[in-house]
Amino acid sequence: MTSDKTKGLPNVVIVGGGFGGLYAARGLADAPVRVTIIDKHNYHLFRPMLYQVATGLLSADEIAAPIRSILRKQKNVEVLMAEVVGVDPENQVVETVDGSSLHYDYVVLATGIHYNYFGHDDWKELAPGLDSVDDADRIRGKILSAFETAERKAAEPGADPQLLEDLLTFVLVGAGTAGVEMAGTIAEMARLALTGDFRHIDPRSAHILLFEAAPRILPSYPEKLSDRAHEHLRQIGVDVRTSARVENVDAAGVVVNGQRVGSRTVLWTAGVVASPAGRWLGAETDRAGRVKVNADLTVPGRSNVFVIGDTAAVVAPTRNLFGLRKGSRPLPGVAQPAIQEGKYVGRVIRSQVTGQSGPAPFWYWDKGNLAIIGRTFAVADLGFVRFSGALAWLLWLGIHIYFLIGFANRLQVMLQWAVSFWTKRRGVRIFPLDRKTGEEKSCEDRRAS
Ligand SMILES: Cc1cc2nc3c(=O)[nH]c(=O)nc-3n(C[C@H](O)[C@H](O)[C@H](O)COP(=O)(O)OP(=O)(O)OC[C@H]3O[C@@H](n4cnc5c(N)ncnc54)[C@H](O)[C@@H]3O)c2cc1C
């Protein structure tokens, strides 16, 4: 329970303990409100480093922390683990999956996105996307079990070379930041971390394929940086195919531009779609389902309903790193807009409950974009300057570790990273058997089918 001192104060319900929700809650520290933050998971996840968990470089607890422990010192906050299934703006209640409802005076929806399979939801099981700790564990299991199965099959007399090739072919669909970062990490995992561990296969022979339907990878980056990223991926052994549309996914692989590519490990890093917040509210959304919001991040016609982060379509005045105006533009689905919007909403609510004048309309401070590819290479687009290589990699590392929530995590991650860097090994190589799909079994089944 929140402390007795908060009794009778306005209720602020924040749905989602990701970047947007967490920073909104923090922005209300010491404000005269009762804050309830609801998340279907009990943890806040630092998603930018999730693929490091999926490829065994870090363990989940190094990039995730319980929301209630992050906010334990903020006495006006209560944390609830529950899945929200609806919002009733007329009666000002949030509804959870177990049938409970929670009254609010202000509600902040920060429920993020999920992957878009473009109408092929049956591909989800075959080509998982990376969005949660469970996904990361499952993907790590899928990758490592492919190597294990290949080793076992290769040891059998008369091993089927096609099966071995399919097992050692890793397909990534979509070359945005997540796809590029993931492809680079899998390539280095195969090339460096696993060498010497197997007796019948050479992990360096793994074929990592990155398919992108657009004419170039990292489409949101300047062309020069896309080209450099492409070239670096090629150097570390990733086979990048652009203008390559994945038309089908099944248990035996994918069909790309009409041609079949055999693979037992297909990972989805293509488009995203917003959480159903727009549907809950009956609000206007864009094509990706993101709620169109006002300049103060409220939903049109609802001055006490805010939508922020990946699930909001925000068009806002933007300034560069030095504070110079760049005009109004749609904000990208990355961590910084969510963080800044969360802080801003905290200020708006605080000003309303204390009777002070509200802040100016939201504007976005664009600090630039970074994507990391492998152990020592990254591309950096800081607006006024664009560069790639080791310096960009160091910048990526510093920023990401700085922003990790929780001091213990930062130290742990730095240490783990340093060890993996120098030894070229992966710390997290254990994976549970996927009881639901039975990874190993399914490979056999697929072969038979
Ligand atoms: C693999 C990956 C790599 C990325 N890399 C980068 C990067 O390098 N740099 C960068 O800036 N950004 C990166 N991003 C994007 C960044 O993580 C997001 O833009 C950011 O997390 C958005 O914050 P948010 O608060 O809107 O949503 P999230 O951080 O996604 O938080 C949403 C929260 O809502 C909860 N939730 C959802 N639905 C419900 C419900 N119905 N009931 C209760 N709780 C619910 C979820 O459990 C989650 O905790 C990456 C994302 C992914 C998936």
Instruction: Give, for all 449 residues of the chain, the pLDDT tens digit.
Output: 455 667 789 999 999 999 999 999 999 999 999 999 999 999 999 998 898 899 888 888 889 999 999 999 999 999 999 999 999 999 999 999 999 999 999 999 999 999 999 999 999 999 999 999 999 999 999 999 999 999 999 999 999 999 999 999 999 999 999 999 999 999 998 998 888 899 999 999 999 999 999 999 999 999 999 999 999 999 999 999 999 999 999 999 999 999 999 999 999 999 899 999 999 999 999 999 999 999 999 999 999 999 999 999 999 999 988 888 889 999 999 999 999 999 999 999 999 999 999 999 999 999 999 999 988 899 999 988 999 999 999 999 888 888 877 666 777 787 777 777 777 766 666 676 665 544 444 333 333 33
pLDDT at position 438:
45
pLDDT at position 417:
75
List all residues whose CB is within 6 A of at least one atom of ligand 1: 15-21, 38-41, 47-48, 50-51, 83-84, 110-112, 130-131, 177-178, 275, 309-311, 333-336, 338
Q: How far, in Å, from the CA of 186 to the mean position of ligand 1?
A: 22
Q: How far, in Å, from the CA of 108 to the mean position of ligand 1?
A: 15
Active-site annotation holder among 181, 188, 341, 439: 181
62: annotated active-site residue: no
Q: How far, in Å, from the CA of 23 to the mean position of ligand 1?
A: 13
Q: How far, in Å, from the CA of 107 to the mean position of ligand 1?
A: 18
Integer Cα distance of 385 and 391 in angstroms: 13
Answer yes or no: are the C-beta atoms of 42 and 133 closer than 8 Å.
Answer: no
Integer Cα distance of 167 and 40 in angstroms: 35
Digit-coded pLDDT (tens) for 239-285: 999 999 999 999 999 999 999 999 999 999 998 999 999 999 999 99
- Atom 28 (ligand 1): residue with closest C-alpha? 18
The number of the ligand 1 atom at minimal distance from the alpha carbon of 85 is: 41
Cα torsion 304, 308, 313, 314: sign? positive
Q: How far, in Å, from the CA of 47 to the mean position of ligand 1?
A: 6
Answer yes or no: are the C-beta atoms of 140 and 56 closer than 8 Å.
Answer: yes
H helix intervals, 35-132 = 50-54, 60-63, 67-70, 123-126
Q: Strand 246-250 vs strand 253-256: parallel, antiparallel, or unpaired?
A: antiparallel
The number of the ligand 1 atom at minimal distance from the alpha carbon of 334 is: 19
The number of the ligand 1 atom at minimal distance from the alpha carbon of 39 is: 44
Residue 143: which of 183, 107, 108, 98 has the closest Cα? Answer: 183
Answer yes or no: are the C-beta atoms of 337 and 330 closer than 8 Å.
Answer: no
pLDDT at position 415:
78
- Atom 3 (ligand 1): residue with closest C-alpha? 48
Integer Cα distance of 115 and 317 in angstroms: 28
The number of the ligand 1 atom at minimal distance from the alpha carbon of 396 is: 8
Q: Strand 259-262 vs strand 265-268: parallel, antiparallel, or unpaired?
A: unpaired
Integer Cα distance of 50 and 60 in angstroms: 8
pLDDT at position 441:
40
**pTM confidence score:** 0.92
Q: How far, in Å, from the CA of 20 to the mean position of ligand 1?
A: 8
| Strand residue runs (E) in 269-412 | 272-274, 291-292, 298-299, 302-307, 312-313, 315-319, 325-330, 364-365, 369-372, 378-381, 386-389
Pocket test for ligand 1, best of 55, 67, 80, 111 (most atoms within 8 A of CB): 111
The number of the ligand 1 atom at minimal distance from the alpha carbon of 311 is: 26
pLDDT at position 140:
93
